[in-house]
Amino acid sequence: MKKVIVTTTINPPTEAIHKFDRMAGWDLVVIGDQKTPKDYRLERGQYLDPAAQERYDKSLSDAIGWNCIQRRNFGLLVAHDMKADVVAVVDDDNIPLEGWGERLFVGQDVEANYYQTDLPAFDPIGATNHSELWHRGYPLQLLPKRNYEKRTRKVVHADVQADFWNGDPDIDAICRMEHAPECKFDRSRFPIAADKPAPFNSQNTFLSGAVLKDYFLYPHIGRMDDIWAAYYVQAKGRHVVFGEASVYQDRNVHDLVRDMRQEYLGYENNLALVQDLAKDPESLIAYLPGRAAWAFELYRRHFSHA
């Protein structure tokens, strides 16, 4: 089985990157940006500097732009070229815990705590021991209506395995300002799955290689880039299962007011988006600025021969 770790960074190699670079059985691909140190080096992994990305696909590079985490899409394309069976998308501030990547169920059937909801979307964090929090990208209008009483055990095919994160979890700026949490998620609550689409991120997530053609981190929409990617692939019929925390998030410094501004597009549109996607997955295009839609089209051309 070919397993590839993908990330992007503007920092020198962090503790997390060093650990991922030494991970047995995995290949690491790091995508640079214009702010990434010029002397960036890995022991085993592959580093693509800006010039290499321009040579790979100049039109896609121009459509995405620079100084943004969506440069990571080039790593997804490289993983596809490597014929990866599983692609782990990570952040450079997510320090892998012991056993990271060993309890893989992506591409397999797994028995999960399965939730049914009458709402158009499911919030996985609310099903944990930190039910006061919610996942970044969950429609805020649904927060007071969350209900986790309809739970059974069910076998689900995991196209995506979205593992959790101890420490500072992936919540939105409003939730972080209110709670400033330091989390340790109860392992017994996992795996988690649901009958409605759920937000998942691109910081500790394992994707089946077959998902890559539909999984694109949309530029020019702020901090909804991976959230809308998550909603889209689920609208295309892929299933996500949430796994126990397998990293410690030592979160890079963020300006929470800036984060909130970057999330506003989601606050305004996430509920309508998930409702529209349930009717037609391609309705997503209407929510994207033209340059983002063009970047998605350029990305998908790399899969047209598959």
Give the residue extent of every domain in the chain.
3-303
Measure the CA dihedral 13/19/21/25, to 10°.
-170
The rounded distance, in Å, linking the Cα atoms of 131 and 125 is 6
pLDDT of residue 254: 77
Those residues with Cβ within 8 angstroms of residue 261's Cβ, 6 or more apart along the chain or in another chain? 222
User: Which of 30, 52, 164, 162 lies closest to 97, judged by CA?
Assistant: 164
Residue 76 sits at φ, ψ, to 5 deg, of -65, -40
CB 66 within 8 A of CB 33: yes
Q: Which amino acid is at 184?
A: K
Bridge partners (DSSP) listed for residue 249: 94, 167
The rounded distance, in Å, linking the Cα atoms of 253 and 256 is 9
193-208 mean pLDDT: 97
CB 242 within 8 A of CB 163: yes
User: Which of 210, 198, 203 lies closest to 242, judged by CA?
Assistant: 198
Residue 299 sits at φ, ψ, to 5 deg, of -60, -45
For residue range 70-102, list pLDDT tens digits in order.
Answer: 999 999 999 999 999 999 999 999 999 999 999
Supply 5's token pair. Answer: 């770790």
CB 19 within 8 A of CB 96: yes
Residue 183 sits at φ, ψ, to 5 deg, of -105, 150
Flag whether pLDDT at 110 surpasses 80.
yes
For residue range 133-164, list pLDDT tens digits in order.
Answer: 999 999 999 999 999 999 999 999 999 999 99
Supply 156's token pair. Answer: 């689900």
The rounded distance, in Å, linking the Cα atoms of 196 and 153 is 16
Supply 61's token pair. Answer: 């590079």
CB 197 within 8 A of CB 231: yes
Supply 83's token pair. Answer: 């014929």
Produce one character per residue of 84-117: b if its CB has 16 or more CB atoms within 10 Å, e if not: bebbbbbbbbbbbeeebbeebbbbeebebbbbeb
Average pLDDT over the chain reads 96
Supply 246's token pair. Answer: 């397998």
The reply to whether omega before 191 is within 30° of 0 (cis) is yes
Those residues with Cβ within 8 angstroms of residue 184's Cβ, 6 or more apart along the chain or in another chain? 166, 245
Share of the chain above pLDDT 70, in %: 99
Class for the domain spanning 3-303: alpha beta
Q: Where are the beta strands (DSSP E) in 32-188?
A: 46-48, 86-90, 94-96, 109-115, 151-157, 160-167
For residue range 243-291, list pLDDT tens digits in order.
Answer: 999 999 877 677 999 999 999 999 999 999 999 999 999 999 999 999 9
Flag whether pLDDT at 306 surpasses 70.
no
